[in-house]
Amino acid sequence: MEGFTYRGGTLHAEEVSAVELAERYGTPLYVYSRGYLRHQFRRIREAFAEIDPLICFAVKANTSAAVIHTFAAEGAGADVVSGGELYRARRAGIPANRIVFAGVGKTAEEIEYAIQEEILGFTVESEAELHRISECATRIGGTARVDIRVNPDVDPKTHKYTSTGKKENKFGVDLERAVKAYELAARLPGVEIVGLHMHIGSPVMSIDPYVEALERVAPVVRELKAAYPTLRHLDIGGGLGIRYRDEQEDLDPARLAEALLPTLRDLGLKVLLEPGRFLTGNAGILLTRVQYLKEGPEKTFVIMDAAMNDLIRPALYEAYHKILPVRETSDTLTGDLVGPVCESGDFFAQNRELPAVQAGELLAVMSAGAYGYVMASNYNSRGRPAEVMVSGGTAKLVQRRETWDNLVAGETIPAWE
Ligand SMILES: Cc1ncc(COP(=O)(O)O)c(C=O)c1O
- The catalytic position among 342, 409, 413, 415 is 342
- Residues 302-328 have pLDDT tens digits of 999 999 999 999 999 999 999 999 999
List, in sequence order, every residue forming a beta bridge with 352; answer none if it has no partner. Answer: 335
Atom of ligand 1 nearest to the CA of 278: 11
3-state SS, residue 185: helix
**158 contacts 202 by C-beta, under 8 angstroms:** yes
* Strand intervals (E) in 171-240: 173-174, 191-197, 233-235
Whether 396 maps to a domain, the answer reads: yes
Same domain, yes or no: 160 and 216: yes
We report the CATH number of the domain holding residue 163 as: 3.20.20.10
Q: Higher-confidence residue: 163 or 263? A: 263
DSSP assignment of 38-76, as one string? HHHHHHHHHHTGGG--EEEEEGGG---HHHHHHHHTTT-
Cα 416 to middle of ligand 1, angstroms: 46
**pLDDT tier for residue 158 given thresholds of 50, 70 and 90:** low
Q: How many CA atoms lie within 13 A of 137 on its CB side?
A: 22
Q: What would the mean pLDDT of 333-360 be, rounded to a whole number?
A: 97
CA distance 5 to 396: 19
Is 44 contained in some domain?
Answer: no
H-type helices in 268-362, by residue range?
277-280, 313-317
Which of 18, 74, 23, 100 shows the shortest CA–CA distance to 368?
18
Same domain membership, residue 285 and residue 269? no
Mean pLDDT of 99-107: 97
Residue 30, pLDDT above cutoff 90: yes
Q: Which residues pair with 337 in a beta bridge?
A: 302, 349
Which of residues 273, 301, 318 is at a domain's end?
Answer: 273
417 — pLDDT class (breaks 50, 70, 90): confident
The gap between the terminal CA atoms of the chain, to the nearest Å, is 64
| Catalytic site includes residue 56 | no
- Residues 354, 311 within the same domain: yes
Q: Cβ distance 124 to 133 under 8 Å?
A: yes
| Alpha-carbon distances, residue 255 vs 130, 184, 269, 280, 366 (angstroms) | 36, 37, 20, 20, 25
Burial letters 34-51, b for 16+ CB under 10 A, else e: bbbbbbbbebbbebbeee
Residue 278 has pLDDT above 80, yes or no: yes
Number of domains in the chain: 2
Give the chain's mean pLDDT. 96
**pTM, two decimal places:** 0.96
Same domain, 262 and 140: yes
Question: Which amino acid, 398?
Answer: V
Q: Are 292 and 327 in contact (CB under 8 A)?
A: no
Looking at ligand 1, which atom is closest to the CA of residue 102?
1
Instruction: Please tell me the predicted confidence (pLDDT) of residue 159.
Output: 63
Best residue among 41, 271, 274 to mutate for probing ligand 1's pocket (most ligand atoms within 8 Å of CB) is 274
264 and 323 housed in the same domain: no
Q: What is the pLDDT of residue 156?
A: 76
Q: Does residue 264 share a domain with residue 119? A: yes
Domain at 20, CATH number: 2.40.37.10
Is 202 within a domain? yes
pLDDT band at 168 (very low <50, low <70, confident <90, very high): low
* SS3 at position 397: strand
Output the CA 230–ligand 1 centroid distance in Å.
25
pLDDT digits (tens, 9 = 90+) for 216-242: 999 999 999 999 999 999 999 999 999
> What residue type is 296 in one-letter code?
G
Q: How many whole angstroms from 58 Cα to the centroid of ligand 1?
A: 6
Rounded to whole angstroms, the Cα distance separating 336 from 4 reads 24
Is 146's pLDDT higher than 70?
yes
End residue of a domain, out of 273, 296, 318: 273
286 shares a domain with 175:
no
Specify if 226 maps to a domain: yes
Which residues does residue 33 pair with via DSSP β-bridges, in sequence order? Answer: 390
Ligand 1 centroid to 164 CA: how many Å? 9
The reported pLDDT for the residue numbered 227 is 97
Contact 343, 308 (CB under 8 A): yes
* Residues making up the chain, counted from first to last: 417
Q: Domain check: are 265 and 288 in the same one?
A: no
Using the predicted structure, report yes or no on whether residue 409 has a pLDDT greater than 80. yes
Residue 36 counted as domain residue:
no
- Asked if residue 113 has its Cβ within 6 Å of ligand 1, the reply is no
Instruction: Decide if 202 contacts 180 (C-beta within 8 A).
Output: no
Asked if residue 87 is part of any domain, the answer here is no
Regarding whether 269 and 288 lie in a shared domain, the answer is: no
Task: Classify residue 63: in a domain, yes or no.
Answer: no
Does 80 sit in the ligand 1 pocket, CB within 6 Å?
Answer: no
pLDDT of residue 376 exceeding 70: yes
Beta-carbon contacts of 95 under 8 Å, excluding residues fewer than 6 positions away, are 77
Domain boundary among 254, 273, 292: 273
The percentage of the chain sitting over the pLDDT mark of 90, rounded to a whole number, equals 93
Instruction: Say whether pLDDT at 165 is over 60.
Output: no
With respect to residue 82, please indicate whether it lies within any of the assigned structural domains. Answer: no
Domain that holds residue 268: 103-273
Residues 165 and 254 in one domain: yes
Q: Which of 375, 352, 378, 371 is nearest to 363 (CA)?
A: 352
Give yes or no: residues 298 and 267 share one domain: no
Q: Both 263 and 334 in a single domain?
A: no
